[in-house]
């Protein structure tokens, strides 16, 4: 009897031990939507490579851990794709091949609920993906439109269909949404439609395979105006996040988040031990206007527009140095009292501890540098787009098609 109980006890210990191991294993992260509207990829025709800029150390993405059965991977939430063929709505969208998606299509708006319900009874909507018709569910008339895009009056009532797709194979997929009616009807604004095909809208879905897992943090926004003194919180922009390297001693936190006021007199810093926060504002001023050549303006409209902004932070582990690219207005050349003699440029500042930066005076290019590495080279995107050979070399401008780009992010 004693031996049997010992055997059973030992079996239970082994079983519990296995359960603990299973429960502590890291499951695959949830596959979610690409949050970037536009991917900017350098080509040999548009950018000239450089090999001297320092790379950024990217913090690890947080992954959700399921609280239910340890061996079960959570079902990802569907990515909602709005298919609406008006200006201001995307006709090309990106999805993860392994993610479920929910298409909202056949979007139709009418002025007033009565007109909306009457027209909805007369409309027939068809959706095809790569030529194959897909069935959907007609939704009731509603005052709000999920993932709204475009510009419309407040009195619009909306109708649309939905269909759920459990992943779509990698590749480029053509979608068409066709609106058909057998009768003539009015939409409430005086316009009449039908009979026959009213319109057909075309869309493109780009499906890619990715192991990237993204989790939206619960405590947003992480920086608010009340966290900053006086009027310093009136404008908060240009964030650049790093995981503090191990060679920095007595760091204030595990993560440093640099940001600025668009016309501020210094670069700000927030720090935290967890990406979800809480975030605290560093009491000191990381890089002050008075320490740079940006403060030497004596004429033009820029006299009252002196500032340092848009920090872009990169870690060089080889030299144990933090590099900060920032912009400001400076005197370029010409008559000192002429506005045309001034412009906004990118400069470099370096630091050994991530808190005290020493600025240089060489112009690297136009404002809003965002530096990234691609295929063993380093590139800088700004307004307009630039590529650079050396830290102190001037850059060649590429104005089209990204002339209006500023404070961008590079999804690699």
What are the residue ranges of CATH 2.115.10.20 in the chain?
225-398
Q: For the chain, how many residues are written?
A: 412
**pLDDT one-digit tens code per residue, 195-205:** 999 999 999 99
Residue by residue, DSSP assigns 31-93 as P-----S------TTT---BS-SPPP-PPPPP----SS-TTPPPPPPPEEEE---STTS-SEE
What are the tokens at 43? 């080509």
Q: Does domain 225-398 have CATH number 2.115.10.20?
A: yes
Is the torsion defined by CA of 140, 146, 149, 150 positive or negative?
Answer: positive
142 secondary structure, DSSP code: B
- The top-level CATH class assigned to 79-208 is mainly beta
- pLDDT at residue 40 in the model: 31
What are the tokens at 281? 């504002």
Contact 325, 309 (CB under 8 A): no
Looking at the DSSP bridge assignments, the partners of residue 181 are: 123, 196
In the block, which residue shows the tokens 């091949």? 97
- Phi, psi (rounded to 5 degrees) for 302: -75, -10
* Residue 42 buriedness (CB in 10 A; 0-12 / 13-18 / 19+): buried
Residue 275 has pLDDT above 70, yes or no: yes
Looking at the DSSP bridge assignments, the partners of residue 92 are: 204
Of the pLDDT bands very low, low, confident and very high (cuts 50, 70, 90), residue 33 is very low
**pLDDT one-digit tens code per residue, 283-303:** 989 999 989 988 888 777 777
42-46, 95-99, 131-135, range with greatest mean pLDDT? 131-135
List, in order, residues 6 or more apart from 166 with CB less than 8 Å away.
Answer: 100
Query: Which carries the bigger pLDDT value, residue 141 or residue 215?
Result: 141
What are the tokens at 205? 């879905």
What are the residue ranges of CATH 2.60.40.10 in the chain?
79-208
Of the pLDDT bands very low, low, confident and very high (cuts 50, 70, 90), residue 42 is very low
């Amino acid at each position: 009897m004693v031996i049997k109980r010992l055997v059973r006890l030992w079996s239970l210990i082994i079983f519990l031990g296995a359960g603990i191991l299973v429960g502590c294993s890291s499951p695959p992260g949830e596959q979610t939507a690409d949050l970037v509207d536009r991917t900017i990829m350098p080509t040999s025709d548009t950018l000239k490579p450089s090999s001297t800029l320092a790379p950024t150390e990217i913090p690890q993405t947080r992954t959700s851990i399921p609280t239910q059965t340890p061996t079960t991977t959570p079902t990802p939430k569907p990515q909602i794709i709005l298919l609406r063929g008006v200006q201001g709505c995307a006709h090309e969208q990106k999805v993860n091949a392994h993610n479920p998606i929910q298409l909202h299509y056949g979007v139709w708006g009418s002025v007033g609920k009565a007109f909306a319900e009457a027209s909805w009874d007369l409309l027939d909507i068809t959706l095809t993906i790569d030529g194959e018709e897909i069935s959907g569910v007609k939704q009731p008339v509603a005052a709000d439109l999920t993932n709204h895009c475009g510009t419309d009056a407040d009195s619009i009532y909306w109708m649309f269909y939905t269909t759920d797709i459990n992943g779509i194979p990698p590749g480029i997929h053509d979608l068409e949404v066709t609106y058909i009616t057998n009768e003539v009807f009015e939409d409430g604004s005086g316009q009449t439609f039908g009979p026959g095909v009213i319109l057909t809208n075309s869309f493109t879905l780009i499906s890619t395979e990715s192991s990237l897992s993204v989790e939206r943090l619960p405590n947003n926004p992480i920086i608010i105006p009340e966290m900053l003194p006086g009027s310093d919180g009136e404008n908060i922009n240009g964030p650049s996040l790093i995981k503090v390297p191990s060679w920095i001693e007595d760091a204030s936190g595990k993560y440093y988040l640099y940001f600025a006021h668009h016309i501020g007199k210094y670069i700000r810093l927030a720090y935290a031990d967890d990406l979800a926060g809480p975030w605290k504002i560093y009491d000191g001023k990381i890089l002050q206007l008075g320490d740079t050549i940006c403060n030497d303006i004596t004429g033009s409209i820029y006299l009252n527009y002196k500032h340092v902004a848009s920090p872009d932070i990169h870690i060089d582990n080889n030299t144990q140095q933090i590099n900060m690219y920032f912009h400001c207005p400076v005197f370029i050349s010409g008559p000192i009292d002429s506005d045309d003699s001034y412009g906004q440029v990118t400069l470099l500042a370096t630091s050994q501890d991530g808190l005290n930066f020493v600025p240089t005076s060489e112009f690297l290019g136009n404002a809003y540098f965002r530096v990234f590495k691609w295929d063993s080279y380093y590139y800088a995107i700004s307004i307009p787009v630039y590529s650079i050979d050396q830290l102190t070399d001037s850059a060649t401008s590429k104005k089209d098609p990204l002339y209006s780009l500023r404070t961008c992010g590079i999804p690699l």
